[in-house]
Structure 1
Amino acid sequence: MVSQESLDLTETYLDLRPDGTVAEVQVTESFWQDLASGAIRIDGRMVMATRMFADMQHWEMHPAGDEILMLMSGRAIVVLEEPEGEREIEVAEGGTAIVPRGRWHRIKVVEPGRMLFMTAGAGTEHKPLDGT
């Protein structure tokens, strides 16, 4: 059951399940490791927010679906890895970028702020910036 109280999406993520229900996902220190190992499962789309202070130090890719990135405050650049090279989408406060399914991407912070993510998280992959 979902809380009837106000939630901070930086501390409690949401799983928008295929059956139309919403489940709270508690964020622990091992959350990302547990998600990668399968100890935590997100059946639908994960909705979360984070405070962005620094550039992402890796690339990520979501094979299960497109990702929606909404910048609530600050300024950022979403970098997409395209066949012809990197493409940058500058996002200002209140702006949204859509990352296509299966596209490697990362975020560079221009001005610190908060970003909301809506991600089909199943099978998410990461790779280092240098591509190795």
Structure 2
Amino acid sequence: MAKAQSISIQEALNTLTFFSGRTPYSTDAETADAFSCLSEFQNGGLYVGHYQGNSEWERHGYGDELVMVIDGQTTLFIWQDDHETAHTLTAGSLIVVPQGLWHRFETPEEVKILTITPQPTDHQTEHP
């Protein structure tokens, strides 16, 4: 059985290096210092990130993903029923992305984000 532990989200964010210019083609190596796994959680993990830019498309086949903006703003695009819906998230707001739906982020300015993300995650640069 895992041991319960307290996690300071702010302290975790303070350890990250801001990554500017994220693109759908950014590699894990390029963005590694801008993201951190704080803890395992069910079939995935609790993550924080600090970046600016746009992500690739992703989806999670083994559960819903919770996305919360800690500071800044991002737009989360979800592909569902053959169309894309934009959800603007600002500090303190969150959204649950249903299992299996393709989604991506557009973040023109700096954002600090927290996610509970099931694994594995499928990624692609092309529109679904």
Q: Same fold (TM over 0.5)?
A: yes
Residues 1-132 of structure 1 mapped to structure 2, 5 A cutoff: 8=12, 10-17=35-42, 44-56=43-55, 58-121=56-119, 123-131=120-128
The separation in 2 between residues aligned to 1:96 and 1:104, in whole angstroms, is 17
Higher percent of residues as strand = 2
Match of 2:21 in 1: none
Higher percent of residues as helix = 2
Instruction: Tell me the SS of whatever aligns to 1:129.
Output: coil
Q: Which ranges of structure 2 fall in alignment gaps of 5 or more residues?
A: 14-34
Structure 1 consecutive aligned stretches of length 4 or more whose deviation exceeds 3 Å: 1-7, 9-12
| Shift in Å, 1:12 | 4.4
The separation in 1 between residues aligned to 2:127 and 2:82, in whole angstroms, is 17
Identity of aligned residues (%): 22
Aligned residues: 103
TM-score, scaled to structure 1: 0.68
Q: CA RMSD in A?
A: 2.3
Q: Which ranges of structure 1 fall in alignment gaps of 5 or more residues?
A: 18-43
Instruction: Tell me the SS of whatever aligns to 2:69.
Output: strand
| Shift in Å, 1:55 | 1.1
TM-score, scaled to structure 2: 0.70
The separation in 1 between residues aligned to 2:114 and 2:83, in whole angstroms, is 26
| Shift in Å, 1:16 | 2.1
